[in-house]
Amino acid sequence: MTTAHAAHEAGGPAPFLFRLRAASVGYGAEPVLRAVEWEVHEGETWFLLGRNGSGKTTLLRALLGLLPIAAGTLERDPTRASRARIGFVPQRCEISPSLPTTVREFVLLGLVGLPSVRSERAERLGAALARTGLAGLAEHSYWSLSGGQRQRALVARALVRDPALLIFDEPTEGLDPPSETAFLDVVDGLRREGATVLFVTHRLAIAAGRASHLALLAEGRLLSGPIDAMLRRPELTEVFGVHAAKLS
């Protein structure tokens, strides 16, 4: 048990899953984000907000280990925030539409890289499909699903890993309103079950009522904190052009 876990057991703050200290991230010599200070703890629901090009996806890529930290540090809980315990839901899936695949095959590919789970594949598949409202569709062609169902299949592919942290990268982009509602219902269900969620969006309305914390990316900086405090910050109004407090 780490020192932070021991402190939490004694009634202290929840241990962090990851912590960025004075971190700069970006591509090449010019960082997209500078001096990032950010801590995410177990059970929190974070919404990362920012305009297009503000560095949301860049930050996610750094958290996923796909992009090195240019400066500063990124600390992870070695067990609960390792690659094996992160479920990633991308904005869209790159699969070639000419390739045949079933929902079962698609979701089970989420198990790649996990050791010794062959015996529990069926159980994990069933649980992931049930939690995303896709039970009974395992043998269906992935291409017969609607756009909203495909997005939920992406969530199932992340859930099949039994993740400690779920990362969503603008997953509702391009969905029609009913599909978006169905998708967000799944996210709400996961939040209620106590999952730690990191949700990237540029739509403040999606965050309102769901987030426990907000992180705002603007002009190369990241401002973060509990939602009540963040909704009162003038920077949020500057970025989104609304009085954010009205959404609380």
Residue ranges that bind other proteins, judged by CB under 8 A: 64-66, 83-84, 86, 88, 90, 93-96, 98-102, 104-105, 109-113, 141, 143-144, 157, 161
Q: Residues with Cβ < 8 Å from 110, sequence gap 6 or more?
A: 87, 128, 156, 157, 158, 159, 160, 161
Nearest distance from residue 86's CB to other proteins, in Å? 8
Nearest distance from residue 65's CB to other proteins, in Å? 7
Nearest distance from residue 226's CB to other proteins, in Å? 28
Nearest distance from residue 21's CB to other proteins, in Å? 23
CA distance 120 to 98: 30
Task: Give 34 or 85: the residue with its C-beta nearer to other proteins.
Answer: 85
Nearest distance from residue 169's CB to other proteins, in Å? 10
CA-closest candidate to residue 21, choices 222, 229, 211, 227: 222
Task: Give 1 or 112: the residue with its C-beta nearer to other proteins.
Answer: 112
Task: Give 66 or 242: the residue with its C-beta nearer to other proteins.
Answer: 66
Task: Give 66 or 245: the residue with its C-beta nearer to other proteins.
Answer: 66
CA distance 191 to 51: 25
Quick one: tokens of 170? Answer: 């603008």
Nearest distance from residue 11's CB to other proteins, in Å? 35
Phi/psi of residue 162, nearest 5 degrees: 55, 60
Q: What is the DSSP string of 74-140?
A: EEE-TTTTSGGGEEEE-SS----TTS--BHHHHHHGGGTT-SS-GGGHHHHHHHHHHHTT-TT-TTS
Question: Three-class SS of residue 6?
Answer: helix
Task: Give 147 or 226: the residue with its C-beta nearer to other proteins.
Answer: 147
Task: Give 4 or 84: the residue with its C-beta nearer to other proteins.
Answer: 84
